[in-house]
């Protein structure tokens, strides 16, 4: 009986705890995190806005909802499903994983052979980029 009561309380209180004012999940803003990925200084040399077909930037839909509002090169980022992208260059988030007060994100920009691994941590009540590793893959 006590175990059932404890489990019932846990089920009722856990969502409230996750959404508490100081919870990292309350402060989570997918738009801000993804915008910071798009604006990574190390990614900029690979985006080549001067090349035809690179503006507007396309982000593959999947781990990011199409309603997410992002901008790059003073234009809205297009968030499209793979079926609509075809062979156009696109940025793809391949992993978006929550681990306690960390978020692990992997991405690729295949047209340039670039992959990245990012870790965001929850510090001072905001999500901050903690580490960024990028590499060029051989084509």
In the predicted structure, residue 14 carries a pLDDT above the cut 50: no
The share of the chain scoring above pLDDT 70, in percent, equals 80
Give the per-residue pLDDT at 17: 40
Give the per-residue pLDDT at 138: 78
Does any domain span residue 10? no
Nearest of 103, 109, 110 to residue 131 by alpha carbon: 103
**Chain length of the chain:** 139
Does any domain span residue 4? no
pLDDT (tens digit per residue) in 98-132: 999 999 999 999 999 999 999 999 999 899 999 99
The end-to-end CA distance of the chain, in Å, is 61
Q: Which residue has tokens 């798009």?
A: 38
Read off the pLDDT of each residue in 134-139 and give the average, rounded to a whole number. 88
Does any domain span residue 81? yes
Does any domain span residue 47? yes
Does any domain span residue 100? yes
In whole angstroms, give the CA distance from residue 88 to residue 12. 46
Give the per-residue pLDDT at 24: 63
Give the per-residue pLDDT at 1: 52
Average pLDDT value over all residues in the chain = 86
Give the max Cα distance, the chain.
68
Does any domain span residue 89? yes
Nearest of 122, 125, 123 to residue 104 by alpha carbon: 122
Number of structural domains, the chain? 1
Instruction: Write out the residue range of the structural domain in which residue 84 sits.
Output: 24-136
Helix (H) or strand (E) segment spanning residue 61: none
Report residue 69's pLDDT band, with 50, 70 and 90 as the boundaries: very high
The beta strands (E) that lie in 10-125 are given as 58-60, 71-72, 75-76, 78-80, 91-99, 102-109, 114-123
Does any domain span residue 18? no
As given in the structure block, the two tokens for residue 101 are: 């007060």
DSSP lists the bridge partners of residue 72 as: 75
- Under a CB-based contact definition with an 8 Å cutoff, are residues 4 and 34 in contact? no
pLDDT (tens digit per residue) in 21-45: 455 666 578 899 999 999 999 999 9
């Amino acid at each position: 009986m006590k175990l059932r009561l404890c489990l019932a309380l846990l089920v009722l209180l856990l969502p409230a705890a996750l959404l508490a004012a100081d919870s990292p999940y309350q402060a989570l803003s997918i738009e801000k995190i993804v915008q910071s990925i798009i604006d990574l200084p190390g990614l900029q040399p690979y985006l080549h806005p001067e090349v035809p077909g690179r503006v507007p930037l396309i982000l593959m839909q999947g781990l990011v909802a199409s309603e997410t509002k992002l901008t790059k090169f003073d234009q809205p980022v297009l968030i499209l499903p793979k079926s609509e992208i075809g062979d156009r260059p696109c940025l793809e988030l391949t992993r978006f994983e929550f681990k306690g007060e960390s978020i692990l994100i992997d991405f690729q920009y295949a047209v340039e052979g670039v992959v990245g691994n990012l870790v965001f941590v929850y510090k001072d009540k905001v999500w901050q980029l903690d580490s960024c590793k990028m590499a060029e893959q051989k084509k």
